[in-house]
Amino acid sequence: MVNSGLCILSDKVKHDSSQPNLVDAFGRKIDYIRLSITDRCDFRCVYCMGENMTFLPRDEVLSLEECARLVKVFVSFGVSKVRITGGEPLVRKNAIQLFEEIGQLQGLRELVITTNGSQLEHHAFALKQAGVRRINISLDSLDAARFRQITRVADLDKVLRGIAAAKQTGFENIKLNALLMRGINDDEALHLAAFAIENGFDISFIEEMPLGAVSHSRQSSYVSNEETLKLLRARYDLVSSNETTGGPARYWRIPNSKTKIGFISPNSHNFCEACNRVRISCKGELFLCLGQENKVDLRPILRAYPHDDKPLKQAIIRGLQTKPKGHDFDLKRAAPAVIRFMSHTGG
């Protein structure tokens, strides 16, 4: 047992077949959760955060024990994939110990992380040891000045060292996430794809979503994945693939290369019909849809019933019935589709 005091998962947890799976009112089975373990981040990406952020007071954020308990409950419902995200998950103190705890769950097929890469130099090996086999690293530019402009504060070299450490650690799969913005890095698609191919990584291009109020116009900065795909097809013989994670990504293969290119297109393609996931914020809010406000506040229940999971399970099942049919993104609207930033909900 690790010395963080986490001990909730010492008994092996697997899907309890006497419990129903999580199925929403539209018949969609939920077997994937994304859990944000902090709203804090060492970057301030212009599309994700304001320049001056106020972060949550400590007692409003779930403890790592509460995070572990929630994951355990979801796995008992048949959830088989958990993504730990944020904010930047690796800036949370003792985050690795949470991975170690969750990594022991028998019912879990996949434990994955989305990170900005800044801490990977120190933590890549420990993540792998904890059972993380696939890792997503966000990388929007290979140009140091632009990288600084997008993240407002970050050092590209440090992230590249983190990516190199992850590569050396030997994860089964490393995927880069790149978000292109008009006039800032929209000419980097080919360069980023070539970097992924050279290193044997996958890469996904993400369309910017109207989450949270930012200082630029989302409509003006928007670069459609259709445009990026066209650019890449002019350079590579892309072969369409029907691989799916049940999410918004559509994939293409490059012949004679390990690399898969994905396009996450929430604005130009509706992906909601096959949605298999819910998100939990670092405050314990269960968000049923990234692009809608429906939520269930699980933190008061977690805290009111520290030794009884039944009320928590009932709240989750009830909440799932309010999962909306789909998101409501419309870049032409001046206001953001949802007020909260991606760093709050968990990307």
Residue ranges binding ligand SAM (CB under 6 A) = 41, 47-48, 85-86, 88, 114-116, 138, 177, 179, 206, 208-209, 211, 342-343, 347
Binding mask 324-343 for ligand SF4 (x = CB under 6 A): -------------------x
Q: Return the range that interacts with ligand SF4 (CB under 6 A); candidates 84-92, 188-196, 243-251, 254-262.
A: 84-92
User: What's the chain look like in SS3?
Assistant: CCCCCCCCCCCCCCCCCCCCCEECCCCCEECEEEEECCCCCCCCCCCCCCCCCCCCCHHHCCCHHHHHHHHHHHHHCCCCEEEEECCCHHHCCCHHHHHHHHCCCCCCCEEEEEECCCCHHHHHHHHHHHCCCEEEEECCCCCHHHHHHHHCCCCHHHHHHHHHHHHHHCCCEEEEEEECCCCCCCCCHHHHHHHHHHHCCEEEEECCCCECCCCCCHHHHCCCHHHHHHHHHHHCCCEEECCCCCCCEEEEECCCCCCEEEEECCCCCCCHHHCCEEEECCCCEEECCCCCCCEEECHHHHHHCCCCCHHHHHHHHHHHCCCCCCCCCCCCCCCCCECCCHHHHCC
Q: 208 touches which of ligand SF4, ligand SAM, none (CB within 5 to 8 A by kind)?
A: ligand SAM
Q: Which is nearer to ligand SAM, 313 or 340 (CB)?
A: 340
Residue 35 or 301: the one with the smaller Cβ distance to ligand SF4 is 35
Question: Exactly one of 76, 116, 225, 259 binds ligand SF4 (CB under 6 A); which one?
Answer: 116
Q: Work out which of 13, 30, 35, 41 binds ligand SF4, going by CB under 6 A.
A: 41
| Residue 209 interface partner, choices ligand SAM, ligand SF4, none, CB cut-off 5-8 Å depending on type | ligand SAM
Nearer to ligand SAM, 13 or 179 (CB): 179
85 interface partner picked from ligand SAM, ligand SF4, none, CB below 5 to 8 A per type: ligand SAM
- The verdict on 48 binding ligand SF4 (CB under 6 A) reads yes
Instruction: Supply the minimum distance, in Å, between the C-beta of residue 138 and ligand SF4.
Output: 6
Residue 113 CB, nearest approach to ligand SF4 (Å): 12
Does position 87 interact with ligand SF4 (CB under 6 A)? The reply is yes
Candidates 44, 134, 146, 161: give the one binding ligand SF4 (CB under 6 A).
Answer: 44
Report what 276 binds from ligand SF4, ligand SAM, none; CB cut-off 5-8 Å by kind: none
| Site for ligand SF4 contains 265 (CB under 6 A) | no
Alpha-carbon distance of 109 to 120, in angstroms, equals 23
- Select from 32, 43, 205, 287 the one that contacts ligand SF4 (CB under 6 A): 43
- Mark the segment that binds ligand SF4 (CB under 6 A) among 43-51, 192-200, 222-230, 309-317: 43-51
Q: Give CA–CA dist 60/47, Å, rounded.
A: 25
- Please give the residue ranges that form the binding site for ligand SF4 (CB under 6 A): 41, 43-45, 48-49, 86-88, 116, 138, 343
